[in-house]
Structure 1
Amino acid sequence: MDVAEAQALAGLRVAVVEDDAELRALLVAELGDHGVQATPLESAEALYRHLAANPCDIVVLDLVLPGEDGYSVTSHLRRASSVGIVMLTGRGTPRDMAGGLGRGADLYLVKPLDLDVLLAGLATVRRRLAPAPGPAAGGDKAGARDWSLQAGGWRLQAPDGTALDLGEGERAFLQPLFATPGRPVDRETLIAGMTESPWDFDPHRLEVLVHRLRTRVRDTTGQALPVRAVRGAGYLLLPAAG
């Protein structure tokens, strides 16, 4: 591994979702040796609990898992967050690969594991997901007095002009809040905008999305996202000051 790739992996936060305990432990140990903060998880349920309380950059995901399978997890993650997804599975037919990539995986790798390929893939996905740099200091910031959605709702702009590209789920979550600043939007309405099957949507995934979005906004802009949870009422966008 070269210096640039080692730097690309340093501090990377990865959730390893694998039901084979021996392989899971091996992956976590090998990734840790290369500067990755890897967390071992055995199921989709364990992953959702982890994401609800912990920031994560990339999920390394097996296809065959107890309960919810990797295809379903990939679809839910892609709707609810912008986390990177690397599928690592023993199923390597073109149909399997198309299924994973079509549901939103950033990379599809086939077992048996080649560690160098996995490390290179993680570094590539991290670079791909890195937000574009904001405008240079002193640039034109006219009209940037408050937060706003730009580019048809696909970009969040901070008061200083710094911009963050949004994933599909993040856009669907923020649009109704920006349409009614200062007024709470109930969870049912928010979830209905994020999926065609709201009755099958785990409400905890909304919390995962909000947590991930807050972290990305803070890391990119240095500011807190002006969205607040309102107990029993959903979420609201704080109105512009003054």
Structure 2
Amino acid sequence: MTERSLHAIDARARIALLEDDVELRDEILLPGLADFGFDVQGFGRPTELYVAMLAGRFDIVVLDVGLPDEDGFSVTRRLRSLSPIGIVMLTGRDGVPDRVRGLSEGADAYLSKPVQTELLAATLRSLERRLRMQAGAESATAAAGRWALDAGGWCLIAPAGAMVALTQAERRVIGLLLERPAEPVSRETIIAALTANVHDFDPHRLETIVHRLRKKVADGTGEALPVRAVHGVGYVMIP
């Protein structure tokens, strides 16, 4: 598994905050969500958000209904037509018709102002888990008939659809092998992915990791993991 793909797996949830109230955005919500572990970026206008989305990825958008240039309902409708991104609406309009409209336009959650940062953070975590589970289910469907990692990279999906949870070492090993199907991966390459200090790494530990992974997969899925040792080289994943 490449350093880039591992970074993507380990990255924090990226949140876009669309709020034109500068004090609320910059002094309360941005630092508050950062304290709860989110990678959050603030925007004051919908156009600023759209430009940022062209340049980078966001997992969830938190937006106000009352915005300059375009209201939050139309922003939600536009975002939902383009992407399965998570959407949380923040607004002072707490009437039932507005809630129904927000959810009908595609929002995943609708919170009334003033909102406690702790409640917003809990809502975002809940939504993040739901999106990851959905992505995992889609990955499982797409992976039917072949071995693959789920969207989060922490579960191995067998061809029949059964899944087994992986340790960090196991996901690094299997990630490398899956990236190069039918191509032997050297022991040195795999060990370098497992540790920053390759000279102090016991080579027998790699054999142990592969042995335990084979057993775990067989016990958990009823299928044999097609990882073979290549004498004098390393290991290969047979498609």
Query: By how many angstroms is 1:140 displaced?
Result: 3.4
Please tell me whether residue 106 in structure 1 is matched to residue 111 in structure 2: no
The list of structure 1 runs, each at least 4 consecutive aligned residues, that deviate by more than 2 angstroms after superposition, is: 133-136, 138-142, 160-163
* C-alpha distance 139-22 of structure 1, shift in aligned 2 (>3 A): closer
Query: By how many angstroms is 1:139 displaced?
Result: 7.1
Q: How does 1:164-179 map to 2 (within 5 A)?
A: none
Residue by residue, what CA displacement relative to the aligned partner does 1:69-101 show, whole Å, maximum 9, x if unpaired?
100000010010111000011110001101100
Q: Where does residue 223 of structure 2 map in the other structure? A: none
Does the 8 Å CA contact 1:135/1:162 hold for their aligned counterparts? Answer: no
Tell me the distance in 2 between the aligned counterparts of 1:27 and 1:222. 40
Q: What amino acid maps onto 2:80 in structure 1?
A: R
Tell me the distance in 2 between the aligned counterparts of 1:139 and 1:38. 35
Q: Where does residue 119 of structure 1 map in the other structure? A: 121
Q: What amino acid maps onto 2:78 in structure 1?
A: H
Q: How does 1:142-153 map to 2 (within 5 A)?
A: none
Does the 8 Å CA contact 1:84/1:129 hold for their aligned counterparts? Answer: yes
Q: Where does residue 12 of structure 2 map in the other structure? A: 11
Q: Where does residue 233 of structure 1 map in the other structure? A: none
* C-alpha distance 222-76 of structure 1, shift in aligned 2 (>3 A): farther
Q: Where does residue 34 of structure 1 map in the other structure? A: 36
Tell me the distance in 2 between the aligned counterparts of 1:90 and 1:127. 26
Tell me the distance in 1 between the aligned counterparts of 2:75 and 2:17. 13
Q: What amino acid maps onto 1:54 in structure 2?
A: G
Q: What amino acid maps onto 1:18 in structure 2?
A: E
* C-alpha distance 161-120 of structure 1, shift in aligned 2 (>3 A): same
TM-score for the superposition, normalised by structure 2: 0.53
Q: Where does residue 53 of structure 1 map in the other structure? A: 55
Q: Where does residue 99 of structure 2 map in the other structure? A: 97
Query: By how many angstroms is 1:115 displaced?
Result: 1.6
Does the 8 Å CA contact 2:19/2:45 hold for their aligned counterparts? Answer: yes
Q: How does 1:175-214 map to 2 (within 5 A)?
A: none
Please tell me whether residue 140 in structure 1 is matched to residue 145 in structure 2: yes
Q: Where does residue 129 of structure 1 map in the other structure? A: 131
Tell me the distance in 1 between the aligned counterparts of 2:103 and 2:144. 39
Residue by residue, what CA displacement relative to the aligned partner does 1:166-221 show, whole Å, maximum 9, x if unpaired?
xxxxxxxxxxxxxxxxxxxxxxxxxxxxxxxxxxxxxxxxxxxxxxxxxxxxxxx9
Query: By how many angstroms is 1:116 displaced?
Result: 1.7
Tell me the distance in 1 between the aligned counterparts of 2:179 and 2:40. 25
Tell me the distance in 1 between the aligned counterparts of 2:160 and 2:53. 26
Tell me the distance in 2 between the aligned counterparts of 1:95 and 1:30. 30
Does the 8 Å CA contact 1:71/1:100 hold for their aligned counterparts? Answer: yes
Percent identity, aligned pairs only, is 41
The structure that is helix-richer by fraction is 2
* TM-align CA RMSD: 3.1
* C-alpha distance 45-139 of structure 1, shift in aligned 2 (>3 A): closer
Q: Where does residue 76 of structure 1 map in the other structure? A: 78
Q: How does 1:17-28 map to 2 (within 5 A)?
A: 17-25=18-26, 26-28=28-30
* Greater Rg over alpha carbons, structure: 2
| Larger RCO (CA under 8 A, 6+ residues apart) | 1
Structure 1: tracts of 5 or more residues without a match: 1-9, 143-159, 164-220, 224-242
Tell me the distance in 2 between the aligned counterparts of 1:128 and 1:222. 27
Secondary structure in 1 matching 2:136: coil
Query: By how many angstroms is 1:11 displaced?
Result: 1.0
Secondary structure in 2 matching 1:91: coil
Does the 8 Å CA contact 1:90/1:111 hold for their aligned counterparts? Answer: yes
